[in-house]
Amino acid sequence: MIKKLLLTGATGSMGTAIRPLLAALAETVVVSGRRDITDLMPHEESRKASLDSADDVLRAVDGCDAIIHLGGYSVEGPFHPIMQANILGLYNIYEAARANGMPRILFASSNHVVGYHPQAEVLDNTALPRPDSLYGVSKVFGEALARFYFEKFGQQTAILRIGSCFDKPVDHRMLSTWLSYRDFVAFARAAFTVPVLGCPIVYGASANDRSFWDNSKSNYLGWQPQDNAEAYLAEVLQAVPNPDPNDPLHLFQGGKFTDIPILKEGNHD
């Protein structure tokens, strides 16, 4: 069992949802976000950190033997905050890990790395990056940084290109991209316990009938997602009975992100 697991992005919606499930993975979970977390569970410890501060990140990583890195800018936005959190912030995480015995890292990458691939294609982890947003571009950087630290130092990272990690799928695209919280946590367990992890790229989706992705090249991890978005088909059809086939939501794997203009500071909410 992991002794001390660091969860960055613990104040975000995904971080908040998975916190209770992480008690099964580690003796102590260090929950970290930009604000102090006060509603701590018995297995948790809070370490506030701003990812663009190397000192904060060093303090957060200190003594941890595994890291789930969800922290950062998680949607499309202006370049500067994306750069601070996802480029500088990720560099700070990898440098702090290097100074702390190189604990395994689960890096939350995103389907938006390959967002301009058509939905009609099935991709494996050799597909070319076709990012659909500045956010997607920052995740391409993150994947390259993970690979670089692996080649140069042997730092092991599971790169998970997360589809849509929410409570349940709410539109037709999510019938393909949905990742349940429990399947995410099962992935983390596999990444942290497989004898040799390496630096695989894996698509983060549940066992969805309509998945866009083929994870057979990372079977050695032993991850077997249990949930299937198809269980929510009736609900999705009721909410969105007539999806427009020409809507970018249904044309490209990245959905709506392909349709967002370059955002400047001040026009993002």
Q: Tokens 């960055």: give the residue.
A: 8
Q: Which residues 6+ apart lie within 8 Å of 213 measured at CB? A: 122, 123, 124, 161, 163, 203, 205
Is beta strand 66-69 parallel, antiparallel or unpaired with respect to 201-204? unpaired
State the Cα–Cα distance between residues 139 and 151, nearest whole angstrom: 18
The residues in 70-129 that bind ligand 15L, with binding defined as CB under 6 A, are 74-75, 110-112
Least distance from ligand 15L to the Cβ atom of residue 162, Å: 6
User: From the CB of 143, what's the least distance to ligand 15L, in Å?
Assistant: 13
Q: What is the CA radius of gyration of the chain?
A: 18
Q: List the interface residues with ligand 15L, window 22-41 (CB under 6 A).
A: none
User: Which position among 73, 91, 135, 203 bears the catalytic label?
Assistant: 135
Maximum pairwise Cα distance, the chain: 53
Cα distances from 124 to residues 89, 108, 129, 203, 211, in angstroms, run: 28, 17, 11, 8, 11
For ligand 15L, which is the closer residue by CB, 111 or 155? Answer: 111
For ligand 15L, which residue of 46, 157, 176, 177 counts as binding (CB under 6 A)? 177
Task: Find out whether 213 and 234 touch, Cβ atoms under 8 Å.
Answer: no
Work out whether 164 is an interface residue with ligand 15L (CB under 6 A): yes
8 vs 155, beta carbon nearer ligand 15L: 8
| Whether residue 135 lies in the annotated active site | yes
Task: State in angstroms the smallest separation of the CB of 14 from ligand 15L.
Answer: 8
Which residue, 30 or 205, is less far from ligand 15L as judged by CB? 205
Cβ closer to ligand 15L: 155 or 164? 164
Q: Which residues bind ligand 15L (CB under 6 A)?
A: 74-75, 110-112, 162, 164, 177
Catalytic machinery residues: 135
